Amino acid sequence: MDKYATLNEPQREAVMCTEGPLLLLAGAGSGKTRVLTHRIAYLIEEKHVLPWKIMAITFTNKAAKEMRERVERLIGAGGQDVWVSTFHSSCVRILRRYIDEIDYDRNFSIYDTDDAKKLIREIMKEYNIDPKYFKESMILSEISSAKNQLIGPKAFQKQADGDMRKEIISRVYIEYQKRLLKNNALDFDDLLCKTVDLFEQRPKVLEYYHNLFQYIMVDEYQDTNGVQFRLVKLLADKHKNLCVVGDDDQSIYRFRGADIRNILDFESVYKNAKVIRLEQNYRSTKNILGAANEVIRNNRKRKVKKLWTDNHEGERIHHVQVNSEVEEAQFITDTIVRGIEDEGHEYYHYAILYRTNAQSRLLEEGLVRAGIPYRLVGGVSFYQRKEIKDIIAYLKVLNNSTDEVAAKRIINVPKRGIGATTVERIQEYVNISGQSFMEGVNDIESIPNISRGKKNVAEFAMMMHDLKAFADRGALKRLMDELLERTGYIESLKADDALKAEERSENIGELVSKLYAYVEDREAAGEEPSLNEFLEDVALVADIDQLEDDDNKVILMTLHSAKGLEFPVVFMAGMEDGLFPSFMSMNSGLIEDIEEERRLCYVGITRAQDKLYMTSSRSRMLYGNTNYNPVSRFVSEIPAELLESNSVSGQSDIQENEPMNLIEERARRKTAFKQKPYSTVTASAIPAPEGVVLDYAAGDLVKHPKYGIGQVKLIEAGGADYQVTVNFPSHGKKKLIASFAGLKKI
């Protein structure tokens, strides 16, 4: 029992309360993962429950991995048999085994948002729906919201009840689901919906999982939506040994369909449920927790709880008001420089959080000017890059030949002389014959009105047939090597854009490395590698899962992205009414909207371990408009004794009682940038290029199409052109040819 002795009393009670429904209200930083992992260990070691009889569901791969590793450290090898995974991964695992019971094939494809939008776009074109009035993203969002509440296409159509807008969306929804079925594909929402359908339509399948899972635990229960609520209830109906862990004060995903009522009404749904509150915080200082408690207590719809800690008092919350968003960025970068130089901090100790992505630009520019490396969370993720999606589309077709979206993506990538007209002819043919798109490709000789492209289509079909042989026998390494060689994809990158070819080739190399590592891991475990499984792994990776713990960079992200993370020093930028809380929430007239914004503020505050800075600007330009907004009401909800307010004047950046070394450093940097420390073109024996004029000089900030924002360090004459050396905080120093670089001065 030694391992349980370190738990506090409520934690220990939660670990040992194993039978019946349990609601664990776990405040921010209260050690909920520790409780869950110890609870699993207790079930196995003290209650003698078989590991595979326990299911633990999380929301991110990162959380699932951490939980799995902690369980293994606690109990050893037996921890590997506990079912620990995300909602989506759990559903994929179930569907791979039983989806053929509801008219799908087990080799189904998983469509991401981009794939789904392409399918919606095709349907809109066929139905003559004007994209000016109906954006595919809006239609997809409506469909997703319906699925989150288990509202199918026919039910959605019935609800339209004469509403022309909803009638049009329902027509698209109905056709969208038909196309997904034809393509043997599921979107992310379907992974959950089809699992619920499977359980409700096939009681024997549900009975199998009832017998399999005797104990079920769900993390972040406040973030569950309607379909997730239904899924959990179906799984837990037999044994009722359901433990849900969450914090209603951190429910911030209503825009994604999360329903706070799932946690607020838990005791009504599950009679005789026990409720345990974890209120001791191990993360933050007393002052930070005091501020968080005082802000969130203004919400009405919440379960009463109050975080406390044995940690030290700490500094008061720093609220700084500046004149403009430029000064805001300057203050933040100055504070980071001081922390690095004088306080021994590392870059990764700092996080800059903001309400909207639009705020990041000036913050990025400020970091670049100060030479501070940073990581922007929420940009184009690795798996959304064109070259990666192209190669994955090949793998998808080889795994699931009915995937029409993937097949159309690659039929002429790289270019092989198959034009849009040929693709349309194939589509018309399969629409009449009822075949899949790839069946039409393989039957190209039977399709009329195709002449010039027929030979090219036949060669494409033969190549895919040859590659399929490697996929079918599980030779995934050889498959990838042959795919790249037979398609000539990397050579085509060089022909299309030599400047970007190197980076894109490196990205493909990273994908190849991932596949090789996957194969080697499976073989080391004595298991057969599976293309299905590899594609699942790729499809279910979230952006936040790729945030490396050992990456020594300042983190920039939205407040929504920050949940679940913690940092020694946090900046909450843009603390103004109209920005945070947003105008939309302030003007909606709904108390739920302001309360969700307040919960988002609470999440931001509780990310901070030691120091918290809140910054407000008297004027701010967003989306081309200058706004003059008062300080956020959330700042005013923090008691004066917990708050230290400063105002930075536009006439002088120097604050009262500011350390002299920071004043001198700021003055030095300002002078350096005004005087441009480098000449526009360095002296060189090579003559300056004729007819080449640059609109930027050394020291300027520029933006590159791929590398983002950087600072010009050196410009050298190179005969016919200039060679420009630019330092990009996210990619390091790059030497670029001016005429091809596409650099734009900021």
* Residue pLDDT, tens place only, 146-186: 999 999 999 999 998 888 889 999 999 999 999 999 999 99
Does 581 sit behind a cis peptide bond, omega within 30 degrees of 0 on the bond before it? Answer: yes
35-44, 570-579, 600-609, 658-667: segment of lowest average pLDDT: 658-667
Q: Measured on CA atoms in the order 518, 520, 522, 525, is the torsion positive or negative?
A: negative
User: Sorting pLDDT into bands at 50, 70 and 90, what band is 681?
Assistant: very low
Position 439 scores a pLDDT of 94
What's the N-to-C CA distance of the chain in angstroms? 62
Residues 6 or more apart in contact with residue 354 via CB below 8 angstroms: 360, 363, 556, 558, 559, 572, 573, 574
User: Which DSSP symbol is given to 632?
Assistant: P
Q: Provide the token pair at 27.
A: 């405040």
For the chain, what are the domain ranges? 2-98+193-280, 109-183, 292-380+548-647, 382-540, 676-745
pLDDT over threshold 50, residue 386: yes
Give me the CATH topology for the region 676-745. Thrombin, subunit H (2.40.10)
pLDDT over threshold 70, residue 689: no
Helices (H), 29-131: 32-45, 61-75, 87-98, 113-126
- In CATH terms, 109-183 corresponds, of 2.40.37.10, 3.60.60.10, 1.10.10.160, 1.10.540.10, to 1.10.10.160
> What integer is the mean pLDDT of 634-640?
95
Angle between helices 660-675 and 325-342 (to 10 degrees): 120
Max mean pLDDT range (522-531, 614-623, 630-639, 706-715): 630-639
CB 577 within 8 A of CB 630: yes
Residue-wise pLDDT for 355-381, tens only, equals 988 888 889 888 988 889 998 887 666
Q: Provide the token pair at 133.
A: 């009035």
> What integer is the mean pLDDT of 77-82?
81
Residue-wise pLDDT for 723-732, tens only, equals 888 888 767 7
User: Sorting pLDDT into bands at 50, 70 and 90, what band is 718?
Assistant: low
CA atoms within 13 A on the CB side of 419: 5
CATH no. for 382-540: 1.10.486.10
Which of these, 104, 57, 33, lies nearest to 234 by C-alpha position?
57
Q: Average pLDDT of the chain?
A: 87
Q: Provide the token pair at 99.
A: 């989806």
DSSP, residue by residue, 106-174: TT-EEE-HHHHHHHHHHHHHHTT--TTTS-HHHHHHHHHHHHHTT--HHHHHHHHTT-HHHHHHHHHHH
> What integer is the mean pLDDT of 35-53?
94
Helix count and strand count (H, E) for the chain: 32, 22
* Rounded distance between C-alpha atoms, residue 549 and residue 711, angstroms: 26
Position 549 scores a pLDDT of 58
Strand partners, 703: 709, 744
* Rounded distance between C-alpha atoms, residue 505 and residue 494, angstroms: 9
> What integer is the mean pLDDT of 257-279?
94
Q: Determine whether domain 292-380+548-647 maps to CATH 3.40.50.300.
A: yes
Residue-wise pLDDT for 232-263, tens only, equals 999 999 999 999 999 999 999 998 889 999 99
pLDDT over threshold 80, residue 57: yes
> What integer is the mean pLDDT of 2-10?
90
pLDDT over threshold 80, residue 299: yes
* Rounded distance between C-alpha atoms, residue 460 and residue 488, angstroms: 12
Q: Measured on CA atoms in the order 507, 513, 515, 517, is the torsion positive or negative?
A: negative
Q: Provide the token pair at 111.
A: 């469509």
Position 91 scores a pLDDT of 95
* 109-183 and 382-540 in the same fold: no
pLDDT over threshold 50, residue 453: yes
Residue-wise pLDDT for 643-677, tens only, equals 998 877 543 343 433 443 444 444 443 333 333 33
Give me the CATH topology for the region 2-98+193-280. Rossmann fold (3.40.50)
- Exposed/middle/buried for residue 400 (C-beta within 10 Å: 0-12, 13-18, 19+): buried
DSSP, residue by residue, 404-460: HHHHHHHTTSS--S--HHHHHHHHHHHHHH---HHHHHHTGGG-TT--TTHHHHHHH
pTM of the model as a whole = 0.79
Residues labelled catalytic: 32-33, 219-220, 250, 607
* Rounded distance between C-alpha atoms, residue 593 and residue 80, angstroms: 42
